[in-house]
Amino acid sequence: MASLMEMKEIFRSADAVCFDVDSTVIREEGIDELAKFCGVGDAVAEMTRRAMGGTVTFKAALTARLGLIRPSYEQVQKLISDNPPQLTPGIRELVSRLHQRGVQVFLVSGGFQSIVEHVALQLNIPTANVFANRLKFYFNGEYAGFDETQPTAESGGKGKVISHLKEQFHFKKVVMIGDGATDMEACPPGDCFIGFGGNVIRKQVKEKAKWYITHFDELLKELEER
């Protein structure tokens, strides 16, 4: 197991950095915001808490939550335009600095493609570097389920994305940064996990992560030291 000093060196020399999105890159949980928007906020927030704590499988939690929300295409678009996701302080500067260093940045999220692509646009991350869940809609715009073939639709999916990236781009060192159990599980195959508690602190992650931060400035400082 790598020491904290070794992990910091991996981060400074990484080829690629993968960020979780909900409660990491953005301040909110996208699915909770969508639930509130659709009038079932409290019930879905409780399900999210259980999913993030790692007590139920991600796919089971996602299926149950979306079954309650049943968002239409119009509702998803209106949520993005009326309540756009709020970027976490420091993320814009950190992503910009990583880009300057030639590091590939990816958004790997259990959230929804349409919302995550909106976030990617603000951070100058190409949409090809977004891995997220896709909602499905009928021709009339009503909810028709989600694409269960996406790796991010199930537990362990973020690790599968990292394995895929390593195979495709031959990355030697990939870092995963996130707030939840599904992010921590992605290392290995990720080479280093950095727990993030700037928006919400998940007890299990804080206790188990060797490197735990509460502000992205901490990572910017690491990059400046080299």
Q: What is the residue-wise DSSP string for 74-111?
A: HHHHHHHHHSPPPBPTTHHHHHHHHHHTT-EEEEEEEE
Among 156, 165, 158, 168, which Cα is nearest to 132's?
A: 158
The question of whether 20 is a catalytic residue gets the answer: yes
- Out of 20, 32, 179, 191, pick the active-site residue: 20
- Which one is catalytic: 22, 32, 183, 191? 22
**Mind telling me the catalytic residues?**
20, 22
